[in-house]
Structure 1
């Protein structure tokens, strides 16, 4: 049983890594894609923005629609769609065909990711669930932070087609791994759609949603402009900048492990302390930003905190609605994407309004608001629990 769980985890990690690399890796080759299809870089950017829009739209709906189907069947379906659409992208005669081949997988992205998180958490005891989820999130983080440099390296070393073939290859590995090694996973108790949607009637759910959107906004408002910050404020560029971004990626992977252990040990203290710690880390950059060495240390803390925020966000929503895991994980994915959109926009306003150095103030503001949402949800939970005991 333990061995089969390990195999399951490895396959889920490969699966989410392939899907997130498909989503984010394209960022690293947008100029080459623009040249390949003879379009502008801004138009090529639609491959990123429309994919993300599809994920945000499908997040609350698609996992819900597929929640009653055998989980192995659903995973094979999604991975098969990703492999097929990746191959179509490679062979696409026009940019429009390539764009359609990108948008279609975007709608299926939340199904696999929410399902992977659900399967990971339900395959172990409730006490070990945060650690299991952190392992899957390791694949998510690796796809997000390492997918871009890996894809860029392949494209520069060979061709755009080979870079996109890498997407197809990783998804194909996950497909065949799922097909061969993962047993059938029928849904034991199918929840009615109305029952799952009813979690939206709870104030606790909406407070969790607010906290996750605000936490995602806090990290995105700063991390989206990390290259700009290091270039303008710390004055590092070229290979040094690439090394700094790679260190940030590695720190994020470490953050997944640390976050999983902290949540397993004491969830409430971890969730409450996190906004305070991240706010301090952001303010620390005011003192370290101008010096390369100290700022690299701050970048490491940024990376660790980024990964922990994702784990806390996933836990905070799913723990508010444990009876509807697929739907709540879909909500988590949508909230994360909404937070990225909001945070990136606010970070851009800070840069254009008062300067790059002050983007951390936007992050701190979002963290204060998220802490307020967290404390309100905890108070509501304690009140409801007390009423049930009386």
Structure 2
């Protein structure tokens, strides 16, 4: 049973990697895409920003709509749509066609990722669920930080089309593995839409959503400009910047593994401590970011904490509405995308107004507000428990 569960989780991690890679991988080839379609780089950026916007909008609704269908069937449907969308992207000669071929799969993105987290958690005992989810998160981290340099390398050494073939191949492998090795997973207890939507009437759900938006803003408000920071503040050459980004990505994956153990051991303390730990790193970044050796150390710790943060975000929303896991995971995905958008926008604003070094303040401000949301949720949760105990007595 353990081997079968491990195989299932591994396949879902590959599937999540393929889907996130499709979303984020084009960042590394945006200039090539702009040239290929004869559009500006800013217009080519719609391939990223519009994808993220669609994910943010469809995050809560699409997992809800598909929550009653056999999970293997849904996974195959989503992976199949991504394969078809990527194949169209390979041969697209028109920018509008390429954009449509990405936007349509983006609607289905939250369905697969939500299911992957839900199925991973359900495949093991409740105590071991954070570890199982953290393994799926390795696919998320790899898709975000490994797919970009791989796609860029393939495009520069072969062709733009071959980079798109890479996206297609990963999704196709996940589709075939799901078809052959994932068992049928019919939904035994179908929750009504009303039951799942009722989670939104809970104050702790909204406080969890706000916390995740702010925590993700704290991470991506700074990370989005990490390369620019290293270039202008640390004065690293381009090859060193590439190496540091790779180090950050590797540390991010290590953070996912650590997160599973931390959340299994003591989830509440881990969540409360996270903003303070990341805040300390940002203070060090502000004070010592101009020095090469401290920057290398900061990057490793920062990457580990960012990996931990993704798992904490998922746990915080999921634990606020355990009665509707698919819907809760959809809310988590939507919250993360909203947080990323807000953080990146604020980071750009701070850089343009007061300078690149001060982008760290976006992270610190978001962490302070995020901590307030976390403590408010803990307070509300304790009040609800007290009321429940009095009612029982």
Which bin holds the TM-score, normalised by the shorter protein?
Answer: over 0.9
For 1:332 and 1:129, locate their aligned partners in 2 and report how far apart those are by CA, in whole Å: 16
Instruction: Please say if 1:238 is aligned against 2:238.
Output: yes
Q: Give the 5 Å matches for 1:283-322.
A: 283-322=283-322
* TM-score of the pair, normalised by structure 1: 0.99
Per-residue Cα deviation, 1:235-255 (whole angstroms, up to 9, x for no partner): 002211110111011010111
Q: Give the 5 Å matches for 1:185-264.
A: 185-264=185-264
For 1:280 and 1:66, locate their aligned partners in 2 and report how far apart those are by CA, in whole Å: 41
2:324: which partner in 1?
324
Query: Structure 1 residue 185: deviation in Å?
Result: 0.1
2:125: which partner in 1?
125
Query: Structure 1 residue 310: deviation in Å?
Result: 0.9
Q: Give the 5 Å matches for 1:143-182.
A: 143-182=143-182
Q: Secondary structure at the match of 2:146?
A: helix
Q: Give the 5 Å matches for 1:21-60.
A: 21-60=21-60
For 2:286 and 2:69, locate their aligned partners in 1 and report how far apart those are by CA, in whole Å: 51
Contact 2:217 2:341 in 1 (8 A): yes
Query: Structure 1 residue 182: deviation in Å?
Result: 0.6
Query: Structure 1 residue 347: deviation in Å?
Result: 1.0
Runs in 1 of length 4+ with deviation above 3 angstroms? none
When structure 1 is superposed on structure 2, of 166-175 and 296-305 the one drifting more is: 296-305
Query: Structure 1 residue 356: deviation in Å?
Result: 1.1
Query: Structure 1 residue 384: deviation in Å?
Result: 0.8
Q: Secondary structure at the match of 1:206?
A: helix
For 2:35 and 2:344, locate their aligned partners in 1 and report how far apart those are by CA, in whole Å: 27
2:341: which partner in 1?
341
Q: Secondary structure at the match of 1:266?
A: helix
When structure 1 is superposed on structure 2, of 336-345 and 40-49 the one drifting more is: 40-49
Per-residue Cα deviation, 1:81-137 (whole angstroms, up to 9, x for no partner): 000110011111311111110110100000000000000011111110011000001
Per-residue Cα deviation, 1:123-177 (whole angstroms, up to 9, x for no partner): 1111100110000011001000111000000001100110000011000000000
Q: Secondary structure at the match of 1:21?
A: helix
For 1:62 and 1:219, locate their aligned partners in 2 and report how far apart those are by CA, in whole Å: 26
For 1:93 and 1:355, locate their aligned partners in 2 and report how far apart those are by CA, in whole Å: 39
Contact 2:79 2:172 in 1 (8 A): yes
Per-residue Cα deviation, 1:308-343 (whole angstroms, up to 9, x for no partner): 111111000010000100000000000000000111
For 1:237 and 1:20, locate their aligned partners in 2 and report how far apart those are by CA, in whole Å: 28
Contact 2:217 2:342 in 1 (8 A): yes
2:366: which partner in 1?
366
For 1:226 and 1:287, locate their aligned partners in 2 and report how far apart those are by CA, in whole Å: 15
Contact 2:231 2:238 in 1 (8 A): no
For 2:224 and 2:44, locate their aligned partners in 1 and report how far apart those are by CA, in whole Å: 19
Q: How many residues align?
A: 390
Q: Give the 5 Å matches for 1:30-109.
A: 30-109=30-109
1:385: which partner in 2?
385
Q: Secondary structure at the match of 2:68?
A: coil
* TM-score of the pair, normalised by structure 2: 0.98
Query: Structure 1 residue 286: deviation in Å?
Result: 2.4
For 1:140 and 1:97, locate their aligned partners in 2 and report how far apart those are by CA, in whole Å: 27
